[in-house]
Chains A and B, each alone.
Chain A
Amino acid sequence: MEPIKILTSTAAPLPLPNIDTDQIIPKQFLKRIERTGYQDFLFYDWRRIQEGPDAGQPDPNFVLNKPEYKGAQILLAERNFGCGSSREHAAWAIAQFGFRAVIAPSFADIFFSNAGKNGIILATLSEAEVQTLMQRSIADPRHSITIDLEAQTVSDQQGFLARFPIDPFRKHCLLNGLDDIGLTLLHQDKLQAYESARQNQFWLDPKPQIV
């Protein structure tokens, strides 16, 4: 995972609440067995015209297809972003498309943790603060936002400044690009002690030896 400290970028506004992971990446792309190559499937249906003679063509009205938002590394959305299915493919697609952060008033739990594991900063701001940024990015696609992970702030050049909460551990991992499994394995001795203490608790075993 690549460490991240400060991110300054334009932002792509998606002014909708409850954007679920089925929209972020439709299920047909979940059949792949690879971990990479998901950027082309991000918001697959929304990026394409659904009906009529041009069905299947890129929809010029969708924000990610607009040249003026190309290269944005920040996604702006409304509340409960990432709800629904647990597919980590949603986080992979967002990261591989080039986003390094999502700003929204709230995020669904599983998406929150998947995003963290893929080096995506999720900045939770108030509804009003998100609206301000959203309006500015809609009005001016060049509107640039700075996320300072160390200071836990989101700011812009028009005087916007807001703090966002982040779990200190998650922050530490993002700042240093750390891998969760390696961190857990540092507690190997505790794990072994736990397992030996639990040895006779067969009522908690999926396949108890005793049956």
Chain B
Amino acid sequence: MNPSTPRTMFEKVWQQHVVTEPAGEPTILYIDLQLVHEVTSPQAFEGLRLSGRPLRHPERHVATVDHNVPTTSIADRLVIADQIANAQVSALRKNCADFGIELFDVQDADQGIVHMIGPELGLTKPGMTIVCGDSHTSTHGAFGALAFGIGTSEVEHVMATQTLPQSKPKTFLIHVEGGPNGALPFGVTAKDIILDIIGRIGTDGATGCVIEYAGSAIRAISMEGRMTICNMSIEAGARAGMIAPDETTFAYLKDRRFVPKGAAWDQSVAHWRALATDPGAAYDRELHIDATQLAPSVTWGTSPGMVTSIDAAVPTLDQARTDADQKSFTRAYEYMGIRPGTPIQQIKVDAVFLGSCTNGRIEDLRAAARVVNGYHVAGSVRAMVVPGSQAVKRQAEAEGLDRIFKSAGFEWREPGCSMCLGMNPDILSPGERCASTSNRNFEGRQGRGGRTHLLSPAMAAAAAITGHFTDVRTWNFKA
């Protein structure tokens, strides 16, 4: 490519990481950081041992435990009652020790969901390539990194070679324009934007693409919100989501543990600034969204694309766009125990889950606490807050958010994936309906037979108080 041709941010990051482009084979792409957790790594370590291959760069690997760990007490976490889960966590401890990988274990002050601790520790930085055996690795794209989820064979591949064979994805610009200074309508959050996007383009709408989010609304959103948006890129089928680093990014990163300091910081920022897409660079696809028209979103079905707004109703069968959608709608009505045409606000919830790598950050807990303050959880609802990391938990406790939640009747838990995926003791019972700030509402995702509705933290908090979906735009804030 001609060096003067305008390039997208993705193109720049990609080119910088090309190790070689062998004829007739995929490009071999260098991977700067691999994040590791207990669930998708044991078979990769096993593969290394079986083949006698060393782990090439232990310092480019960081591990934590999150998916399996109970969120109740430190004692429950140190030795997990579920023996299979315990064996998996123990295997990770042994593997990290054997291969020289730094592990943030349950008792560590920096433990947390894998996609929380990367940014918090400053391991995640603009322009890097980051992978993890977890589809929500797309989260790290909020910093202008190229970050994507991989399978366990690929985890092993990165361990052995610090590279991955990759075919080049296409580029997809999603431009989100806000009001003055990029402002979003009151009550509309990053979560509502991404749910709306998935609803528009479908869960396979961005397959094979790296999405770049741009526009005044994106620029005005905090790092926390940008991570929420990039996190759910995978729910639209995208390989990754990216946002160009700017002052907001640099302010977030400055002084974090693994971020260069002093003159090295200035030098780093200069490189990171140059990553933004050049004016005039072309994308394979584009979508423009007017964020001033958005309302808080709630999913009604069993795919994140089955989404509508809080002031709407569950769509009827004739609103399905294709025959295949009709079939999915019918199945979803039945699984969700919901009738087409039901106004969303009439749907009652049994459980509320505030947490996950989508919405378990400090800003999310602040937004929810503002709604909850001065109220009590509805009698029929069980509600829990699971901070995404120890750092978030500490910060929230320092701000007194835990007291607001606890006095309102929420449980206040230890960090982990918790009810996002029901691999640990936090699960829904069959038929139980949950307002959840997580990212997937697939059948059984939060426990067999459980019914999940995805929404923003403030909206989840409001549902916890009233016992049904409630429009946070009309909320009577008491503090």
Residues of A at under 8 Å CB distance from B?
16-18, 20, 22-23, 26-28, 30-35, 45, 50, 78-80, 83-89, 91, 106, 108-110, 113-114, 117-118, 167-169, 172, 180-181, 183-185, 187, 190-191, 194-195, 198, 201-208, 210-211
Contact = CB atoms under 8 A, between A and B. Distances in A.
Interface stretch (B309-317, B341-349, B371-379, B436-444): B436-444
Nearest to B443: A23
B264 A202 contact: yes
Interface stretch (B22-30, B362-370, B399-407, B461-469): B22-30
- Identify which of A35, A172, A201 gathers the most chain B CB atoms within 10 Å of its CB: A35
A118 B153 contact: yes
Contacts of B239: 109
B423 A28 contact: yes
B432 interface: no
A35 B128 contact: no
Contact of B59 (A106, A113, A206): A206
A94 B163 CA distance: 27
Contacts of A113: 150-151, 154
30 contacts: A18-B203, A20-B303, A20-B442, A23-B444, A27-B421, A31-B39, A31-B88, A33-B46, A33-B88, A34-B46, A35-B46, A50-B449, A83-B204, A86-B133, A86-B135, A86-B150, A91-B151, A181-B161, A184-B165, A191-B163, A195-B162, A203-B127, A203-B271, A204-B16, A205-B60, A206-B32, A206-B33, A206-B125, A207-B59, A207-B123
A59 to B, nearest CB: 14
B250 to A, nearest CB: 12
B102 to A, nearest CB: 8
A22 B442 contact: yes
B418 to A, nearest CB: 13
Contacts of B20: 187, 190-191, 194
B199 to A, nearest CB: 14
Contact of A167 (B91, B163, B167): B167
Contacts of B93: none
Nearest to B21: A190
Nearest to B18: A194
A26 to B, nearest CB: 6
Contact of B445 (A22, A28, A86): A22
Interface in B416-469: 421-423, 430, 440, 442-445, 448-449
B208 to A, nearest CB: 6
A128 to B, nearest CB: 12
A114 B151 CA distance: 6
Interface in B197-242: 203-204, 207-208, 237, 239
A106 B165 contact: no
Given A22-B443, A88-B151, A204 B128 contact: yes
B272 A203 contact: yes
B35 to A, nearest CB: 9
B264 A206 contact: no
Given A16-B328, A206-B60, 8 more contacts: A18-B203, A27-B423, A88-B152, A187-B20, A191-B19, A203-B272, A206-B123, A211-B259
Interface in B80-122: 82, 84-85, 87-88, 91
Contacts of B150: 86, 110, 113
B60 A108 contact: no
A20 B123 CA distance: 31
Nearest to B164: A184
Contact of A183 (B133, B165, B331): B165
B153 A210 contact: no
Nearest to B256: A211
A79 B153 CA distance: 25
Nearest to A91: B151
Contacts of A33: 42-43, 46, 87-88, 91
B32 A34 contact: no
B267 interface: yes
Given A22-B442, A33-B43, A108 B133 contact: no
Contact of B153 (A114, A168, A183, A207): A114
A35 B45 CA distance: 11
Contacts of B336: none
Contacts of B51: 181
A187 B27 CA distance: 11
A87 B165 contact: no
B134 interface: yes
Interface in B140-169: 149-154, 156-157, 160-163, 165, 167
Leading 5 A-B pairs by shortest Cβ distance: A88-B151, A203-B268, A33-B42, A114-B151, A190-B20
